[in-house]
Chains A and B, each alone.
Chain A
């Protein structure tokens, strides 16, 4: 308690000095003030214990972070240190003269040419269509050159479920397909999901009410399993994933594709 009172007592003469004593005395007093502050800190045991604890906590925290960084980031870097010896290329001139070497190289050359021809042969000059379902874009190719591109609409990735346990996933299939049929002024035969989706009762399979005209545009091309490339009356949705699995196009693109592709033409969907 005495110690705690000391600084206050020391401050009093310093205040008095402001009125009468010189600057030298002022500095002296200020020095005594600082000294007493640190003294006060070091003599305050509770404060020192708190400082000590905080310091230990900080050290521990730093250690934990270091361990974390070591395991997460340093170790994977260390793994890259023991690099395998890079093979030295000798390119022996003697070897190059040997008949067995020449034979092996010519065999390899033939293999590379053969594989190269085979691989290049996969892309034919015939017309084909590429559909990107992520960005809803199509590309039409003829003679290995792109002749048209534009927006389309593909599957919405919606899963329609009924309380009875029936379900449909509206996605456009991916992979290699070919045009299996071409139709002009196609009617739309509404499948069961079209009724379920709107909460309507499902009619019999051959019911006349299932057929709708004019909703699929002027043309349709069948890809198999009921999937079609067709037109749409919802042109504002082109470029968006909104369909039940078919590929929708605008009227001009549909006509161009219909006229370019023939039955058997490839359609690549990814």
Chain B
């Protein structure tokens, strides 16, 4: 009996060790693939935005490490991006990271300004090649998807009364809504802009933000898993995380069109 028990125990241990090894190998594989994803993105940016030498317009490579040239090039890219958006009649957003300001603009006119309270930027965008990143920012980003804790349009449906006896005058709207304002805007070029409200108005807000952030992270993991299980390096999304006052966050989110445009200066 005792030897049978010992054999059973050994069998159980072996049964645990083998799946354990698989899980460990998957962890390592997942981690390696995930860590490769930013490098893949850097390569993609390099291919798309690095200067293409041609016989006609040959440029001395040293110019791309010249601070005066890069400063002017960055300035030009920022203006180019803003002008491209100003030419449209749409509402757009400009994010000036060194100045910590965001502006809502319509046709080049600033209609609303807000201060960024805190900002975190992906290393790719922060430390990437100055020329490549400036070239990337020379074109406005277009929003492809929005994920938000508040609706874009706070629509309320009201059925028309059949006659005057059913008619009830409108109740004064409740303007004291304390719904936390957090949203994620995914751009067509893969960059993600996350806007979280600065204030913690009530204890539930922290939990709300945690839940919102968790949902978004889980979605990203699912997408990464899909790629990894098909032996592909998952997509990396360089991010810009901003903390803004709640009222400003709300104004910006409600004002920007579903597929609005954004220019970034860093």
Nearest CB in chain A: distance from B32 CB, A = 10
Q: Which residues of chain B are near A50, meaning CB under 8 Å?
A: none
How long is the Cα–Cα vector from A133 to B112 in the complex, in angstroms?
A: 12
Nearest CB in chain B: distance from A209 CB, A = 15
Cβ proximity bits B30-43 to A, threshold 8 Å, 1 near / 0 not: 11001101110010
Partner of B236, one of A79, A116, A122, A130: A79
Can you list 25 A-B pairs with a CB-CB distance of less than 8 A? A78-B31, A79-B37, A81-B35, A82-B39, A84-B127, A87-B129, A89-B65, A90-B65, A95-B63, A98-B60, A115-B79, A115-B80, A119-B82, A119-B86, A122-B86, A128-B109, A156-B173, A158-B158, A159-B158, A176-B106, A198-B167, A199-B160, A199-B167, A241-B173, A268-B107
Q: Is B34 in contact with A123, judged by CB distance below 8 angstroms?
A: no
Show the binding face of A for B, using Cβ within 8 Å.
70-73, 75-76, 78-92, 95-96, 98, 100-101, 104-105, 108-109, 111-112, 115-116, 118-119, 121-123, 128, 130, 132-135, 156-163, 169, 171, 174-176, 196-200, 237, 239-242, 266, 268, 270
Q: Is B109 in contact with A268, judged by CB distance below 8 angstroms?
A: yes
Q: Is B107 in contact with A79, judged by CB distance below 8 angstroms?
A: no
Q: Does B18 contact A (CB under 8 A)?
A: no
Q: Which residues of chain A are near B220, meaning CB under 8 Å?
A: 76
Q: Which residues of chain B are near A91, meaning CB under 8 Å?
A: 65-68
Which residues of B in the span 1-35 have a Cβ within 8 Å of any Cβ on A? 27, 30-31, 34-35
Partner of A109, one of B60, B72, B108, B109: B72
Show the binding face of B for A, using Cβ within 8 Å.
27, 30-31, 34-35, 37-39, 42, 59-60, 62-70, 72-73, 75-76, 79-80, 82-83, 86, 89-91, 104, 106-112, 122-124, 127-131, 153-167, 170, 172-173, 175, 214, 217-218, 220-221, 236, 247, 250-251, 254-255
Closest B residue to A123 by beta carbon equals: B109
Q: Is A105 in contact with B68, judged by CB distance below 8 angstroms?
A: yes
How long is the Cα–Cα vector from A82 to B31 in the complex, in angstroms?
A: 12
Given contacts A79-B35, A95-B60, contact A118 B164 (CB under 8 A): no
Q: Is A135 in contact with B42, judged by CB distance below 8 angstroms?
A: no
6 cross-chain pairs, A with B, having the tightest CB-CB distances, nearest first:
A122-B108, A199-B161, A115-B79, A270-B255, A108-B72, A90-B65
Nearest CB in chain A: distance from B231 CB, A = 18
